[in-house]
Amino acid sequence: MENNKRSFIFSGDFESFKNQPFLQCHGSTLARLPSGQFVCAWFAGTKEMHPDTAIWWSVQVGDQWSQPLVACKVSDEAHWNPVLFVDKDGQLIMHFKVGRFPDSWDTYKTKLSNNIKWQKPKLLPSKMLDCGKVTMGPVRNKMITLSNGTVIAPSSIEKVISRIPYRVEWNSIFHVSSNGGKTWKTTDIVGYDREKYGELGGIIQPALWETNGKIEAFFRSTSGRLFRSHSTDGGMTWDDVVMTDIPNPNSAVDVAVNFNRLAMVYNPVNVDWGRRSPISISFSNLDGNLFGEPITIERGVGGYSYPAIIATDYGFALTYTWSRRRIAFTEVKITEVQDDGCTFKVEMGSSIKPYNWV
């Protein structure tokens, strides 16, 4: 089922930079305020890693998105991967990364004041391990609040062995907070069998959900498949990861829970650094062991990637990168759930109009 009803958070004249505030954008994050309004943020500039990149944001206003504005620009270094989170008090918090390359990232945290202005970002602590630099807070995917109030931030460490040729050692880690994110405890690195899966490469950018007293995670990998692990002690210790049969072209994946079901948005391509098209959504019971056939959201010659998905009253809402030139938004309405729990009837489309540059 193709979705031809997605909208763009912004659109405009892509043949000329004069009507666009940036040439490329990527890495969107999506949240919903207690008022019901959607908020989206992403990084944008000349291109990824360019020092002019900044964190941009837009908010739902009536039936359309507001004009995108710069939310944060703390230095003349590349900005990356904002992550939005609504805390238990309804406060919108954002973490984001700053640094030329992922192995040098610092993490900053800010809050939205009166739904109109971001506070001055604060630099969070970091430390060096043998496998690379660890910074507090999430690295790409959203934080989740467990049923007991614990907050977990999914994170990862990217150590560059050489840039030409590009060789990396990737590991994943989690930060766990019992006080709403004021302080964090950092887990050990998640076990990854390098003898079995390869000395270099690895796993990054965990996507989390809670089910039946456990916390589950999928991981982006360099093996052409998603990896998986789980925790039974509130996220402090994790089983060694295992490879699943779910395709992954070394690109981000995200998940969300609603109607007692799990939704996953991903690129079903099983080649390391493979093409990021199509982008699809698939559904499973909460155990995440068996997913239904992927439903195509968008496909084509461009890249459609780095999704962010959240639950809504009627199903799910999601954003994703559209050929690095736009941020796309769509809503998924669940109209019927089959007995197997993996097959859904859905309606796709957007009730929010794009903002058009003038």
pLDDT at 61: 86
**Pairwise pLDDT comparison (355 vs 77), residue with the higher score:** 77
H or E stretch covering 343 = none
CATH numbers and ranges of domains, the chain: 7-356 (2.120.10.10)
Q: Is 352 helix (H, G, I), strand (E, B) or coil?
A: coil
CA distances from residue 320 to 115, 153, 253, 266 in whole angstroms, order as listed = 23, 20, 10, 10
Residues 274, 267: Cα–Cα separation, whole Å: 9
What is the per-residue DSSP string for 39-80? EEEEEEESSTT-TT-EEEEEEEETTEEPPPEEEE--SSS-EE
pLDDT value at residue 115: 79
Residue 279 CA to residue 39 CA, distance in Å, equals: 22
CA 7 to chain centre: 19
DSSP 202-254: EEEEEEEEEETTEEEEEEEESSSEEEEEEESSTTSS-PPPEEEEEE--S---E
The residue-averaged pLDDT of 193-206 equals 97
pLDDT at 59: 94
Is residue 226 within 8 Å of 246, Cβ to Cβ? yes
Give the global pTM: 0.94
**Partners of 83 in beta bridges:** 95
* pLDDT grade for 1, boundaries at 50, 70 and 90: very low
3-state SS class at 1: coil
User: Of the given ranges (229-238, 268-277, 335-344), which has the lowest mean pLDDT?
Assistant: 335-344
Residues 127-171 pLDDT 10s: 999 999 999 999 999 999 999 999 999 999 999 999 899 899 999
> How many CB atoms are closer than 10 A to CB 163?
10
Q: Per-residue pLDDT for 17 more than 50?
A: no
For residue 15, name the pLDDT band (cuts at 50, 70, 90).
very low
Token readout for 8 is 């763009």
Q: How confident is the model over 217-257, as pLDDT tens digits?
A: 999 999 999 999 999 999 999 999 999 999 999 999 999 99
- Higher-scoring residue by pLDDT: 109, 13: 109
| Residue 6 confidence (pLDDT) | 77
User: pLDDT digits over 82-105, tens only?
Assistant: 999 999 999 999 999 999 999 999
Q: What percent of the chain has pLDDT over 90?
A: 78
The DSSP element (H or E) to which 262 belongs, if any, is: strand 261-266
What's the chain's average pLDDT? Answer: 91
Bridge partners of residue 334, in order along the sequence: 346
The phi and psi torsions of 179 (rounded to 5 degrees) equal -130, 40
Q: Is the pLDDT of residue 3 over 70?
A: no
**Residues 230, 46: Cα–Cα separation, whole Å:** 38
**What's residue 20's pLDDT?**
72
